[in-house]
Amino acid sequence: MPSPEEVIDNLREAIGEPLSVIADPEAGGFLGAAIEEFEDLVIALACIHLFERADEEGYAPNLQLCGFARQHFVRRMRVAMDVDDVHSGASRAQGDLAAFIAGDDGLVRDIVSLAETNPLPGEYEEDFHYRKILHHLMVAPAQIDEDALTVLINAFEDTRHGAEESRHALCFAFRDADQDGFWSAFTNLHDELVEQRATPPRTDDPWPELSRRLWLEGLVWLALASRLRGWSSPETDYALCPSWGHRRTLPPAGENIFLTLPVQR
């Protein structure tokens, strides 16, 4: 089995492939897939730093880098006045969640402000509306606009058609300030994810399994429950949301490698 250092070297080498596509101003329809591959790889890097090296200093910068990638993509789509019906969907992103966990609120606000305002043809409506709930809460000041939150939750309710029961219960409990209901729904959703991820992905590459060790959405909810409701988790650690992976209070001083890349042809 390779050492953590060898895995990190392999991940950094693998990142070169999607990054070369992203750097190409003529990437066209290949850009979205390259962005998502890059997001997966840097999340895997964050995980290897967190779980295998106990290197918390190497954790947040890689999550922030994931956010920088998503920011570059949505800016590039906006400048080109183009939309990728699959990869531009708000619910497809990981960079918004990763940037929030990294503590970079300015980056989160920029990604959210550039996100699509309607579900795209290649996107499930319920996933879109659920992500909009998270967006609303991630950029919310200390005082939540409860009416706006209710509108967003109702839109999610109207499109889920009986699916996503645990996420539905989580949102309703948060809206109703039902702390016990919230933690019950959170635990149920976490355990569902643990069961789903128990089957390794069908690939010889180690990074898809690495990135599945962390549940970004869950870490976001833990931070929101604390910041906006003042709730403390009944569990110190969850398998996919370890306490040492919680949201940072200050953003890392990470380098935005995408600032030198073109945003238009």
Say if CB 171 and CB 217 are below 8 A apart: no
> Tens of pLDDT along 221-240?
999 999 999 999 999 999 99
Say if CB 223 and CB 101 are below 8 A apart: yes
Which pLDDT score is estimated for 200?
A: 72
Residue 265 in domain: no
Using CA atoms, how far residue 105 sits from 99, 100, 126, 250, in Å, is 7, 6, 25, 9
Residue 255 in domain: yes
Which pLDDT score is estimated for 186?
A: 98
Amino acid (1-letter code) at residue 124:
Y
Residue 36 in domain: yes
CA–chain centroid gap for 141, Å, is 20
Phi and psi at residue 219, to the nearest 5°? -65, -35
In which residue ranges of the chain is pLDDT below 70?
1, 82-85, 201, 203-208, 263-265
Q: Where are the alpha helices (DSSP H) in 48-104?
A: 59-79, 95-101
- Domain of 46? 4-260
- Contacts of 28-31 with CB under 8 Å at 24 or more apart are 29/84, 31/73, 31/76, 31/84, 31/87
Which pLDDT score is estimated for 71?
A: 96
Which pLDDT score is estimated for 210?
A: 80
Gap between the Cα atoms of 163 and 142, Å rounded: 31
Say if CB 102 and CB 64 are below 8 A apart: yes
Gap between the Cα atoms of 126 and 106, Å rounded: 27
- Domains identified in the chain, total number: 1
Residue 101 in domain: yes
Which pLDDT score is estimated for 83?
A: 64
Which pLDDT score is estimated for 88?
A: 83
Residue 235 in domain: yes
Which pLDDT score is estimated for 207?
A: 63
